[in-house]
Structure 1
């Protein structure tokens, strides 16, 4: 649990500043579950430059509560939370100073979004909150007011959690939260899970991830882990301390995140997962007569595949449908072995490429259309899919035929501005697994929106 906050102060000498406004959003990693926003009477003068910056003046604060009147609420809403702030060292110092004046030691673990952003979003021209959220296309209202800046920090922190593919932030949170050190009741964990599409992470007591999975219904899948009697499930049941998750909205995003997270974190109970996620591939070659032939064969990383399949039967089904959809020849697609004409030519549904009756350049155009449709080789595009909320969409970025990463956006200008698009995208590794996942998903989901860059 996180307490994401922002504080406005009077300015002045070091450790003599007073708080003029505070905003705290209690955030569970997915949504805001509580909040506290208040002006505060600092009982001292506000520096003129601060008045100009924030618009907060002494007249506005005369009837506002003094810090001791809101101190209890601040303690309660931040209890058991990690304090998250943009330049957390400053906000934490101001809070500790105010509590020290009341004779109370305020101790909380902190996370600084400036430091996290420098690590997870390198290369930015500035890491000030205003310039950083602008570069990420995050809309901000009430800039330089506590509630506006705290809400901007919430949105920034969500993006940073997305970009933390090693899950260091989540593991640290689990490690620091004392309730997770208790012997868990499986039913309590299940009740906290959503019935939504996403990726889940099973942790042991020290925060380490022992298993990563993907599901279209996280709650149902976790229930299966806790009720199955196979050897792996029994080990998970013995070692689980808590389960964290991230909803993705899109099954494609969940598949890609799962694959990346397993490779980065190497959980102990994922060792055998997807060693052979695809076994066969579609290849093309030109024969001595200049016709493009297609062939389903064992997957070979040394050869460039058009697309890949989980098994031979899946590939054969694909080719069978392609012959019909693109009016291709059974012989030249490997479905009908013959030295003469194919069966479809005999029943007048093949144009005769098998016996060189149809010119190669005409036939090859249809084959190339099939290849172009099922391969993103050398293409620059964004695959648009479902998001985590009604007003949100996911974006999978392909540049020069290489998978670059994924992210979420709410506004069209974020996806149409290449600089903002690249900022909101979480960089991910491109490999044979990601290529298979994307191509397989594109084959099965014909109505996906694709933007060519």
Structure 2
């Protein structure tokens, strides 16, 4: 759990400042679950430049509560939380100073979104909050007021969580959360996860990830792990103390994220998923008459295939459908063995490529159209799918036929401006497994929106 904080002060000498406004959003990594926003009477004058910057003046604060009046609420909302702020050392210092004046020691672990941004988004021109969120296409209102700045930091922190492929932020949070709850049993864990589409991470008592999975219903899938009777399930049940998760909304994004992170983290109980997930592929060849044929063959990492398949049944289903949709020849595509014409020619669904009757150029044009549909080789495009909530969408970036990564957006501006788009995309590795995942989803899902890119 995180407490995302922004504090406005009077300015003045170091360690003599007073708080004029505070905003705290309690954030569970997915949504805001509580909030506290208040002006504070600092009982001292505000520096003129601060008045100009924030718009907060002494008259506004005359009837505001003094710090000791809000101190209990701040302790409660930040208890058992990691403090997150843009320049966290400042906000932590100010809070510790105010509580010290009251004779109370205030200690919280903290994360700084300036430092995290420098690590996870290293190419930014500026890491000042206003310039950074503007460059990332994050909407912001009430700049230099605690609520506006804290809310922008929430959205920035959500983006940083998305980009944290090493999972260092989450693992630190899990170690903080485990505390006295190591003995919490599996039913409590199941209650803590949602029935949403996404990726889930099972942690041991050290916070280490021991298993990564994806599901269209995380709660249901975790429940299956905890009620399973096979050896792997029993070992997981003994070791797991916490399950964290990331909603994706999109099943395709969940599959891509799961594939990437299993390869990256190599969890103890994900050995099976580390193997290549496809066995067969579609390849092209040219026969002795000049017709381009398509065939199924064993997948070979040294060759560039049109698309790949998990098993032979799936491969044959796609090949028959493709041959029918584009009015190709079953014999040329090695789906029908005959010394004369194919059966489809008999029922007038083949124009006679099997017996050299059809014009080669005309036939090959349709084959190229089929290849174009079943492959994204050399294409530049965005695959747009559902997001984590109703007003959000996910975007998967393909450049020159290579998978670059994915991100989430709420405004069309974020995907039409290429610089902003690249800043919100979490970079991912392109490999044969993710190519297979994307191609197989594009084959069987019609709900994706494809946006061509220049």
Common topology (TM > 0.5): yes
CA–CA separation in structure 2 for the residues paired with 1:75 and 1:397: 43
For residues 344-402 of structure 1, what are the alpha-carbon distances to aligned partners after superposition, in whole Å with 9 as ceiling and x for unaligned? Answer: 11232210111211111100111111110111100000000001111000000000000
Match of 1:301 in 2: 301
Between 1:16-25 and 1:267-276, the stretch displaced more is: 267-276
Report the Cα distance in structure 1 between the residues aligned to 2:21 and 2:184, rounded to whole angstroms: 39
* Contact 1:8–1:146 (Cα < 8 Å) also in 2: yes
For residues 58-207 of structure 1, what are the structure 2 equivalents within 5 Å?
Answer: 58-179=58-179, 181-207=181-207
- Superposition RMSD on alpha carbons, in Å? 1.0
Please state whether the residue corresponding to 1:229 is helix, strand or coil: coil
5 Å-filtered alignment, 1:9-88, equals 9-88=9-88
Q: In structure 1, how many angstroms separate the alpha carbons of the residues matched to 2:266 and 2:199?
A: 15
Deviations 1:173-220 (A, max 9, x none): 011224465212111111111111111000001100000000111111
Say which SS state the counterpart of residue 273 (structure 1) adopts.
helix
TM-score, normalised relative to structure 1: 0.99
Query: Following TM superposition, by how much is the alpha carbon of 1:113 offset from its aligned partner in structure 2, in angstroms?
Result: 0.3
Deviation, 1:276, is: 3.5
Deviations for 1:72-96, whole angstroms, at most 9, x for unmatched residues?
1111111110000000011111111
Question: What CA distance in whole angstroms lies between the structure 1 residues aligned with 2:11 and 2:122?
Answer: 31
Would you say the 8 A contact 1:174–1:180 is kept in 2? no
Paired position in structure 1 for 2:446: 446
The corresponding residue for 1:284 is 284
Counterpart of 2:381 in structure 1 is 381
Paired residues in the alignment total 453
* Greater alpha carbon shift after TM alignment, 356-365 vs 234-243: 356-365
CA contact (8 A) 1:23 1:147 kept: yes
1:356 and 2:356 equivalent? yes
Q: Give yes or no for contact 2:178–2:205 (8 Å, CA) kept in 1.
A: no
The question of whether the paired residues in 2 share the 8 Å contact of 1:201 and 1:244 is answered with yes
In the alignment, what sits opposite 1:258?
258
Note if contact 2:232-2:269 (Cα within 8 Å) is conserved in structure 1.
yes
* Partner of residue 398, structure 2: 398
Unaligned runs of 5+ in 1: none
Residue 421 of structure 2: aligned partner: 421
Contact 1:180 1:241 in 2 (8 A): no
**TM-fit CA distance, 1:414:** 0.8
Q: Secondary structure at the match of 2:269?
A: helix
| SS of residue matched to 1:252 | helix
Matched, 1:328 2:328: yes
Q: TM-score, structure 2 length as denominator?
A: 0.98
Query: Residue 183 of structure 2: SS of its match in structure 1?
Result: coil
> 1:331, 1:308 → 2: CA distance?
21
Segments of 5+ residues of structure 2 without an aligned counterpart are none
Report if the CA contact (8 A) 2:204-2:210 is conserved: yes
Instruction: Return the offset for 1:286.
Output: 1.6
**CA contact under 8 A between 1:133 and 1:156: conserved in structure 2?**
yes
Instruction: For residue 35 of structure 1, give the secondary structure of its aligned residue in structure 2.
Output: strand
Can you list the C-alpha shifts for 1:222-250, whole angstroms capped at 9, x where unaligned? 11100010000000000000100111100
